[in-house]
């Protein structure tokens, strides 16, 4: 006998949780499609040579390699040297780059794609860190150029997704890398590497406090002027409180240099179009502390936080980049994208108690009072299924009370009972376990009646 | 520059195909849920020790092992010996067994689950054979016992799935391993191993012809009587032509032995309940040649074939087994299940030209005649999205003819045009590219009008 268990660091769910997870996936997908994004799926494994274009990095340390038995044997014979031929994807961005470059001539640009698949990272096993997790990504990829207008669409998608996910108030926080770069240049921090180091210190504000950061930046290592440091600390504290406040914050930055002007003008356009897309101003704000991956993003950057759960951190991040696939294609392919790490988010929401797992996918249980009635029960189930209701039939006889208990525990809302009386009258009795109500209905009316009940509850939410 | 390419033996789709594929997945899932099956997903990798309980088999030869960089380095130091800790699942049955055994105390039995994920096999690369492919499985697992009645539900699911997939007429073919065993015993072929060998010869009927098979079976190796061989060849030719014919075929088998009687009685009950579930008799038939995996299935077995494409082979197969998880649990867990290998099926249907890739997920394109109108276009798109329509907006200016051409090529049905006239009147012009029709509608009525159009076309199909 072998002990059945999953590998460490993966999230496997029981059906009630899996149903809740699947609902979130469906909501995300529905909204991605609402905004005109097209589905892409890529193989879980990529050729190592293709996947690991930048060798030796932290990424490669976390990669899982894949080998068939034959390849393993060959490797063992040759002393186990060499990189295996294939590896599991560690994100959806590299596969997207490979996909777009490989199929460049078959795609229409701007290419809008969504991809919702699992990715793999050999992280150190710890609570809330997963080695296998879902990413839900959308990107718009242009050929040669891509208007900044697209940067405004993504916040509208984020707004639609998280409104419908119904996990509490949230804020989409915006910044722009050009604006940041211009501002730092203004403060005498011109080199990108130095900017990165300064930002790393600024990131310690929450943990170490303003005094510590101020002292470090004016200290020997950095040698910035007290004024520059004060300006920087004031800058990264900026959070706009309304649409007009956001515009005023941009005005306040002044004319500065080219980079600053570009960044300000991009953010202005993005803000204008976000509003045109109907995103309420309570749901977006400037946040000049947001930097994201400094070596990757080049314009607009996004983070999204739950107002009531700041500790969860960003639940949806992304931004604008200059060139998606420079490793694979000579074409310049600028893009803008966002990603939701759904496995971790689900885990965090469940820990915080904001996941509703009470509702089954099964809407109706047809009970069985008498084995001789089973053909009738099956026919009723058929009618319900034709009527669009997810229906389970009790196939093996047991006490009716036990059947009700099962429905209750499983989160099935409607229980259909068919006794001699009902059979004679051509009716069924329905118990609504949610409303703790019961009614009798003609068999021919059953599916319609339950659909009406379900639609009413949906409308009431 | 690295050449962007996928590993050999995987199927990667362009968006129009991916949309068609995703529609099939959705249809399958919707029908699995209609019948009360609950979703399960398992990690792509399992511990090798758990996955490979029967070592040294053909399966293990095809397994892909997974190793982190650290594990690879360790293996190289120790001379590359030993089985890696993890491997990719090669089907969904072993993960189901592991899942049910691991979570036995948290599941309600009979446990009805569906699982639709990719599996991995290191097959020899050849046309139409895939190393990564989707399986769409449902199983019902009992604890200690599971009524044969469940065996009748699966054909009803198969019927619902393939009716809605709309890929042509199909027949669900039924047999029963007990009935086969009893019949072969009656013909003097008692040992299971011998039955397997005889069946292997019988399988050559199509390729080698009846004379060859007859000679082999009466020949030295087998030494069966001419009468037994004639009976066997007549038996495996049995295909029922209607429900009543199926019952008559069962009657004609006579009383025989225990196994035969059990098999006949199970098939009778299954046939009765399939009919009660409303499956038309044109869609199911007895086929006494169907054996499936002889060491696994123990009762009802299923295959499903497309009437007009017999060459595609079985598109959905499965059956009843005695014990799902004997390697992982002391409990007896009998079950019945079916599986659809969707990647291969999709490939075959596409080769046969029966995949419709003409329809995008995007339903409406809002064109842009003048960049100054973009905020209006975005607001209209918002209204459409709120109204449930998947909508893309042209964000960058281009000639209107080009925008129409894009919609046409992309399979987007409705194109919305907003000119000065329309803006002044508060209307938009809609071109219906499918019906080659156009109409003007008040902006407030737009979403409703398009929804009506879409519902009408859906009803007409």
Q: Taking residues B314-326, report their average pLDDT.
A: 95
- Is A149 a member of any domain? yes
Residue B188 and residue B292 in one domain: yes
What is the least distance, in Å, from the CA of B84 to any CA of chain A? 9
pLDDT higher than 60, residue A32: yes
Residue A261 and residue A388 in one domain: no
Predicted pLDDT at A73: 82
pLDDT higher than 60, residue B55: no
Q: Name which of A29, A55, A64 to mutate to probe chain B: the one with the most chain B Cβ atoms within 10 A of its Cβ.
A: A64
Residue B307 and residue B235 in one domain: yes
A61 or A250: which leads in pLDDT: A250
Q: Exposure of A123 by Cβ count < 10 A (0-12 exposed, 13-18 middle, 19+ buried)?
A: middle
Residue A153 and residue A278 in one domain: yes
Least confident segment among A398-402, B125-129, B218-222: B125-129
CA distances from A84 to A81, B69, B303 (A): 9, 10, 39
Predicted pLDDT at A270: 98
- Across the interface, whether the CB atoms of A18 and B4 are under 8 A apart is answered no
**Domain boundary at B351, B377, B410, which?**
B351
Predicted pLDDT at A127: 87
- Is A128 a member of any domain? yes
Looking at residue A456, which CATH number applies to its domain? 3.40.50.800
Q: Report the percent of chain A where pLDDT is more than 90.
A: 85
B358 or B407: which leads in pLDDT: B407
Q: Taking residues B196-204, report their average pLDDT.
A: 90
Predicted pLDDT at B19: 97
Question: Mind giving me the DSSP string for B8-44?
Answer: TT-----HHHHHHHHHHHHHHHHHHHHTTPEE----S
Predicted pLDDT at B80: 61
Distance of CA A241 to the CA centre of its chain: 25
Q: How confident is the model at residue B349 (pLDDT cuts 50, 70, 90)?
A: very high
For B61, which of A53, A61, A69 is closest by C-beta distance? A69
Contact indicator for B302, B315 with CB cutoff of 8 Å: no
- pLDDT tens digit sequence for A97-122: 999 999 999 999 999 999 999 999 98
Binding site residues of A for L-histidine, as ranges?
A: 91-93, 121, 135, 139, 292, 296-297
Looking at residue B56, which CATH number applies to its domain? 3.30.930.10
**Which sign, positive or negative, has the C-alpha torsion A228, A232, A233, A235?**
positive
Q: Reduced to 3 DSSP states, what percent helix, strand and coil does chain B have, rounded to the nearest 5?
A: 45, 20, 35
Residue B86 and residue B188 in one domain: yes
- Is B5 a member of any domain? no
- Could you tell me the two tokens for B409? 């090529």
Predicted pLDDT at A92: 97
Question: Mind giving me the DSSP string for B343-361?
Answer: HHHHHHHHHTT-------S
Q: How confident is the model at residue A60 (pLDDT cuts 50, 70, 90)?
A: confident
Q: Is B93 annotated as a binding residue?
A: yes
Q: How confident is the model at residue B74 (pLDDT cuts 50, 70, 90)?
A: confident
Distance of CA A275 to the CA centre of its chain: 23
Predicted pLDDT at B81: 64
DSSP bridge pairs for B306: B170
Backbone dihedral angles phi then psi of residue A451, each to the nearest 5 degrees: -60, -40
For the CA atoms of chain A, what is the radius of gyration?
A: 28
- Is A9 a member of any domain? no
Q: Give dist(CA A54, CA B286) in Å, integer.
A: 59
Q: Are strands B132-141 and B111-120 parallel, antiparallel or unpaired?
A: antiparallel
What stretch of H or E contains A427?
A: strand A427-432
Q: How confident is the model at residue A74 (pLDDT cuts 50, 70, 90)?
A: confident
Residue B315 and residue B373 in one domain: no
- Across the interface, whether the CB atoms of A395 and B80 are under 8 A apart is answered no
Predicted pLDDT at B56: 56
Domains identified in chain B, total number: 2
Q: Name which of B24, B27, B40, B45 to mutate to probe chain A: the one with the most chain A Cβ atoms within 10 A of its Cβ.
A: B45
Residue A69 and residue A115 in one domain: yes
- Could you tell me the two tokens for B451? 């929804």
Q: Give me the torsion for CA of A254, A255, A256, A262, rounded to 10°.
A: 110
**Which sign, positive or negative, has the C-alpha torsion A70, A72, A78, A84?**
positive
What stretch of H or E contains B209?
A: none
Q: Report the percent of chain A where pLDDT is more than 70.
A: 98
Predicted pLDDT at A57: 65
pLDDT higher than 90, residue A292: no
Q: Residue A26: which domain range?
A: 15-351
Predicted pLDDT at A356: 86
- Across the interface, whether the CB atoms of A98 and B4 are under 8 A apart is answered yes
Residue A267 and residue A127 in one domain: yes
Residue A81 and residue A210 in one domain: yes
Q: How confident is the model at residue A149 (pLDDT cuts 50, 70, 90)?
A: very high
Cα–Cα–Cα angle for B357, B358, B359, rounded to 5 degrees: 100
What is the least distance, in Å, from the CA of A170 to any CA of chain B? 20
Residue B238 and residue B157 in one domain: yes
Q: Give dist(CA B330, CA B323) in Å, integer.
A: 10
Q: Exposure of A246 by Cβ count < 10 A (0-12 exposed, 13-18 middle, 19+ buried)?
A: buried
Q: Report the percent of chain B where pLDDT is more than 90.
A: 85
Predicted pLDDT at B54: 66
What stretch of H or E contains A199?
A: helix A192-202
**Quick check: helix, strand or coil at residue A308?**
coil
Q: Taking residues B307-327, report their average pLDDT.
A: 95
Residue A221 and residue A291 in one domain: yes
| Contact partners, residue B65, CB within 8 Å, separation at least 6 | A66, A67, A68, A69, A72, B48, B83, B84, B86, B87, B88
- Across the interface, whether the CB atoms of B1 and A160 are under 8 A apart is answered no
Q: Exposure of B391 by Cβ count < 10 A (0-12 exposed, 13-18 middle, 19+ buried)?
A: buried
- Is A6 a member of any domain? no
DSSP bridge pairs for B441: B428
Residue matched to tokens 């769910």: A13
- Could you tell me the two tokens for A286? 């400037």
Q: Taking residues A64-75, report their average pLDDT.
A: 87
- Could you tell me the two tokens for B390? 């998947």
Q: Give me the torsion for CA of A427, A433, A434, A438, rounded to 10°.
A: 40
Q: Give dist(CA B231, CA B182) in Å, integer.
A: 13
Residue B397 and residue B249 in one domain: no
- Is B3 a member of any domain? no
CA atoms within 13 A on the CB side of A129: 7
**Which residues of chain B are within 8 Å of residue A385 when distances are taken between CB atoms?**
34-35, 160
**Which residues of chain B are within 8 Å of residue A57 when distances are taken between CB atoms?**
none
Residue matched to tokens 């490797």: A75
A125 or A27: which leads in pLDDT: A27
How large is the greatest C-alpha to C-alpha distance in chain A, in angstroms? Answer: 93
Predicted pLDDT at A55: 54
In our burial notation (b when 16+ CB lie closer than 10 A, e otherwise), range A96-105 reads bbbbbbbbbe
- Is B343 a member of any domain? yes
First to last CA, chain A: 49
């Amino acid at each position: 006998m072998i002990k059945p268990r999953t590998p460490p660091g993966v999230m496997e769910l029981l059906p009630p949780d899996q149903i809740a997870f699947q609902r979130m996936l469906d909501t995300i997908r529905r909204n991605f499609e609402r905004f005109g994004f097209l589905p892409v799926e890529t193989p879980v494994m990529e050729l190592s040579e293709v996947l690991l274009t930048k060798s030796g990095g932290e990424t490669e340390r976390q990669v899982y390699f894949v080998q068939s038995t034959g390849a393993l044997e060959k490797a063992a014979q040759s002393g186990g040297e060499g990189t295996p031929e294939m590896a599991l994807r560690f994100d959806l961005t590299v596969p997207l780059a490979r996909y777009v470059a490989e199929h460049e001539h078959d795609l229409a640009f701007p290419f809008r794609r969504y991809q919702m698949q699992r990715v793999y990272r050999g992280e150190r096993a710890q609570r809330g860190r997963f080695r296998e997790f879902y990413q839900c990504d959308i990107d718009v990829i242009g050929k040669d150029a891509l208007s900044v207008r697209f940067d405004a669409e993504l916040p509208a998608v984020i707004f639609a997704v998280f409104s419908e996910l119904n996990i509490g108030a949230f804020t989409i926080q915006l910044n722009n890398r050009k604006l940041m770069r211009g501002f730092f240049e203004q403060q005498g921090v011109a080199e990108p590497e130095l900017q990165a180091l300064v930002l790393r210190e600024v990131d310690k504000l929450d943990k170490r406090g303003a005094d510590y950061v101020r002292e470090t930046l004016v200290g020997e290592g950095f040698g910035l002027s007290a004024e520059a440091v004060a300006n920087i600390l004031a800058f990264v504290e900026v959070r706009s409180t309304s649409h007009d406040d956001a515009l005023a914050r941009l005005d306040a930055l002044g004319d500065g240099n080219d980079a600053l002007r570009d960044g300000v003008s991009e953010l202005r356009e993005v803000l204008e179009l976000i509003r045109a897309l109907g995103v309420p101003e309570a749901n977006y704000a400037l946040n000049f502390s947001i930097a994201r991956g400094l070596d990757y993003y080049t314009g607009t950057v996004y983070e999204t936080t739950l107002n009531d759960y700041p500790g969860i951190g960003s639940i949806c991040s992304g931004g604008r980049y200059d060139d998606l696939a420079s490793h694979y294609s000579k074409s310049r392919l600028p893009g803008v994208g966002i990603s939701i790490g759904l496995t971790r988010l689900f885990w965090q929401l469940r820990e915080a108690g904001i996941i509703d797992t009470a509702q089954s996918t099964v809407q109706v249980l047809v009970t069985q009072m008498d084995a001789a009635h089973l053909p009738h029960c099956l026919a009723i189930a058929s009618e319900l299924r034709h009527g669009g209701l997810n229906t389970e039939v009790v196939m093996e006889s047991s006490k009716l009370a036990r059947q009700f208990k099962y429905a209750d525990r499983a989160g099935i809302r409607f229980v259909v009972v068919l006794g001699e009386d009902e059979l004679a009258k051509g009716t069924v009795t329905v118990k609504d376990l949610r409303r703790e109500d019961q009614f009798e209905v003609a068999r021919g009316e059953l599916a319609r009646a339950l659909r009406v009940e379900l639609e009413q509850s949906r409308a009431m939410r």
